[in-house]
Structure 1
Amino acid sequence: MKKAEQGDRVTIRYIGTLDNGYIFDSTEEQEPLTFTIGSDEVFPALEQAIIGMTAGQAKNLLIPAEQAYGPRRKENILVLQRDSLPAGSEPKPGQKVHMQLADGNELLMRVIEVNDTEVTFDGNHPLAGLDLTFALQLESIG
C-alpha cells in the first residue's frame, strides 16, 4: 500500500482543537483539505506527520505553538489614543481592522480593548501562543 511522501498531493479530513476542547477548525461540514506535501501550504509539522501514512489511516497530532502560529508577541500589540483615530470611528472589541503601516504594507489587527481614551489592537494571529491538536485522517494520496 502506498505511503504518503514528499511531493505527493494528499487529501485529509481533520478536527482541530485547543487544550480546552474548543474546535477552532474542522472539515466535518466542508470539503476535505487537499495540498501537496512540501509546498508550504500547511504547517511543516502537519506535513511531517502525514509522511508515511497510508490512505484511510487516522492519527492524533499535537502541534506546539512554536511550530504552528508561534508565540504571542508583545510587539504586535498597539495602543492608540482614541483622538488619533479617524473621526467618527467607533471601534468595538473583536472588530477586525486593516491598518496601513509606514512602509505602505497593510496589517490586519483585532480590537481587544476600548476605553474612554485608548484603543488596544492585537496583530497576533488569534491562535498564536496556543498548542493545536488535530484528529486527522488521510483520505487519499494523489
Structure 2
Amino acid sequence: MVMQVLNDSAVLLNFTLKLADGSVAESTQAHGKPALFRLGDESLSPALEAELLGLSTGDKKTFTLAGEHLFGKYNPDLIQYFMPSDFAESGVPEAGTIMLFTAMNGSEMPGIVRDVTEDSVTVDFNHPLASEEVTFDIEVVSINPEEETTHANTAG
C-alpha cells in the first residue's frame, strides 16, 4: 500500500531551502538527519502544506514560495526603536546582530539590529525571510513514521 501525505500526516523530510540568489538558508543534510513535521498542527504554513499533500514516500519535489506565505508579510510596525541606554547591561549591539528580546508577556522574540546611531538602535522583529522567495528541494523520507515503527514491531 502506497502511503500519501494527508492533512494530518506526520512527514519525515530531507529538505534544502535556497534563497533567490542561490544561497542555502537551511538544509537537513547539513545536520545529518531529516526533519519531522505534522500537517494540520499549524507549525507549517497552509501554502507549504498544500505543496506536500499527495506526495508519497521517496517523492522529490522542488517548488518556490514567497516569504509572506511562509513567514508572514513584512510588517513595518515590527520595526522598533530603542535608546542606546536600553542596552546598558549587554552593551550597544552592532548593526546585523540578532538578539533575543523579552516581550511584556515574558515570551522571547528574536530581533535583528538594523541600525545603530548615537541616539537610537533600530530593531526589526520581522522574520528575516519575510520578504524573500524561498525555493524548497524536498524528499519525503517517511510518512507517519511512528506507525511504521508500530507495524514493524508487531510484525516481528
Question: TM-score, normalized by length of structure 2?
Answer: 0.79
1:57 is matched with which residue?
59
1:97 is matched with which residue?
99
Alpha carbons 2:6, 2:39 under 8 Å: kept: yes
Q: Tell me the C-alpha RMSD between the 2 structures.
A: 2.0
* 2:16 maps to amino acid: I
Alpha carbons 1:68, 1:131 under 8 Å: kept: no
2:142 is matched with which residue?
140
* TM-fit CA distance, 1:55: 0.8
2:11 paired with 1:10: yes
The residue correspondences of 1:21-40 to structure 2 (distance < 5 A) are: 21-30=22-31, 31-40=33-42
* 2:71 maps to amino acid: Y
Provide the C-alpha distance between the structure 2 equivalents of 1:103 and 1:43, rounded to a whole number of angstroms.
Answer: 25
1:125 is matched with which residue?
127
Structure 2 residue matching 1:45: 3-state secondary structure: helix
Alpha carbons 1:72, 1:129 under 8 Å: kept: yes
Alpha carbons 2:79, 2:122 under 8 Å: kept: yes
* TM-fit CA distance, 1:2: 2.3
Tell me: CA distance 1:73–1:135, structure 2 relative to 1, closer, same or farther (3 Å).
same
Gaps spanning 5+ residues in structure 1: where? none
* TM-fit CA distance, 1:43: 2.2
* TM-fit CA distance, 1:99: 3.2
Q: How many residues align?
A: 142
Regions of 4+ moved over 6 Å: none
Provide the C-alpha distance between the structure 2 equivalents of 1:39 and 1:88, rounded to a whole number of angstroms.
Answer: 37
Provide the C-alpha distance between the structure 2 equivalents of 1:117 and 1:39, rounded to a whole number of angstroms.
Answer: 43
Gaps spanning 5+ residues in structure 2: where? 145-156
Please identify which structure carries the higher helix content: 2
* TM-fit CA distance, 1:97: 3.0
